[in-house]
Amino acid sequence: MLCTRRDFLTASATGIIGLPGLAAATPAAAAPALGKAEHVILLWMGGGQSQVDTWDQKRVTKDGRKDPGSAYAGIDTAIPNVQICEHLRQMAPRMDKCVPVRSVHHEVIDEHGAAAYRMHIGRPVSGTIVYPSLASIVSAVKGPGSELMPSYVLMGQRSAGRNPGFLGAEHGPLVVTSTAQGPRGLTRPARIGESRADRRAALLRGLQQDFLAKTGNDSRVAGDIAVAKAGFRLAGPEFMSSFDLENEPADLRNRYGDEFGQRCLLARRLIERGSRFVEVSYDLNFKNGTGWDTHNEGQQSQHVLIESIDTATAALIDDLEQRKLLDKTLIVMMGEFGRPSGFDGGGGRGHQGKAFSVLLAGGGLRTGQAVGVTDDLCEKIVEQPVSVPDLFATILAAVGCDPHETLYAGNRPVPVTDGGVPIPQLFSA
């Protein structure tokens, strides 16, 4: 059960003590500055984006083999004294709307699944609690932006780290596999008329209520019923029309670029209509068959991936800004870890969790600054390390959630982050 600020203030004002689901205030925790963003778009760079080839520019390698360093030259940006990769030409002048956080770290290095779980859940796997994803927490904290839209949309592969955990099915993802059409199963077949559909719906409601009563009003069953009801609402035109990308001007669709860009355009259409959290995954088959897992020869075509995200992300920022949605929408670009500045035997890069970059944009943050500093070859963090819980606390604070709040797994209190602290300079005093 979620304890929101509204719940706590209401209980305090009425003098009610010990209400189920309310956590005791934490005296030692200073009240953090909270943002006013309403939506999050997560751009997931599955495989592990190389920070030294994107957002944390280092000296350029001499040979791409034995001499470590960035694979590409750096270019100046709208942030003074901050360079990024030369293939991010469109993003460079837009970095005043961004924050490269260059000192993110965790201890998971060599296993993609475990690291991806960590970057979606924000804490290690537990044997006793199934934790919710960041997206599910945002869905629960913010509530529905529209009853006609899914709160949490995933454009990519569903995995354990993307699930709602103890928050329940109603805060789980609606999975989208194509920008051309909505999820299968939401559209009623033409052979099913209105009266027949009404009879079926009445029968289903009766069965649901009977089963709920037999299970003693189990919260998990109630959550599943809520999801089923939401599915019928999503079959309406408000959600399904989100997929009509052809209704957008051709020049705008072209500015977004390839399939990844079209997913970013769809993400904008979804949050514009009320979705709270949309994850857009950069799939392996978009360009080179390996995605950002650039071992061996994968490194040789990495510039194609970088140019793809450059086009799509620049278009997304411009589009949101033009629609006055950029301050209301936090863009987060991250993967499961980064990559070392050295090269493997095939000229690619391995995995690195001890220092990597996450890009934040918009969201009402104090952008136009870089957070964190790594050493000359990005082997160590030398200034302002940012843990994964700190990153989660920052994202949650941006959308107005106190990162010191408490969730409840049954009767067990669970802090909303694993001790995370928001990055202070990103929030107005």
For 107-157, the pLDDT digits (tens) are 987 899 999 999 999 998 888 899 999 999 999 999 889 888 999 999 988
Q: Are residues 256 and 139 in the same domain?
A: yes
User: Do residue 293 and residue 179 come from a single domain?
Assistant: yes
Whether residue 278 sits in one domain with residue 141? yes
Let me know whether 336 and 379 are in one domain: yes
pLDDT digits (tens, 9 = 90+) for 182-219: 565 555 555 665 666 556 556 655 665 666 576 776 66
pLDDT at 44 over 80: yes
Report yes or no on 16 lying in a domain.
no
Q: Tens of pLDDT along 405-415? A: 999 998 999 99
Is residue 14 in a domain?
no
- Tell me the average pLDDT across 369-389: 98
| Predicted local confidence at residue 36, as pLDDT | 94
Domain identity same for 306 and 261: yes
Task: For residue 382, tell me if it sits in a domain.
Answer: yes
| In the block, residue with structure tokens 């569903």 | 158
Domain boundary, last residue among 202, 234, 266? 234
Categorize the per-residue pLDDT at 298 as very low, low, confident or very high, splitting at 50, 70 and 90: confident
Q: Considering the domain boundaries, does residue 18 fall inside one?
A: no
Q: How many CB atoms sit inside 10 A of residue 251's CB?
A: 7
Whether the per-residue pLDDT at 283 is higher than 90: the answer is no
Q: In this structure, is residue 26 part of a structural domain?
A: no
Structural domains in the chain (count) = 2
For residue range 227-248, what is the model confidence (pLDDT) as tens digits? 555 554 555 566 777 888 999 9
Given 173, 202, 234, the domain boundary residue is 234
Classify strands 386-387 and 98-105 as parallel, antiparallel or unpaired: parallel
The domain spanning residue 160 has which CATH number?
3.40.720.10
Give the pLDDT of residue 20. Answer: 33
CA-wise closest residue to 264 among 313, 326, 306: 313
Rounded-to-integer distance, Cα 283 and Cα 174, Å: 17
What pLDDT sits at residue 183?
61
Question: Which amino acid belongs to residue 351?
Answer: H
Look at residue 228 in the predicted model and tell me its pLDDT: 52
Cα torsion angle, 397, 399, 404, 407, sign: negative
Are residue 177 and residue 192 in the same domain, yes or no?
no
Range of the domain at 197: 188-234
Same-domain status, 395 and 254? yes
Domain membership of residue 87 (yes or no) is yes
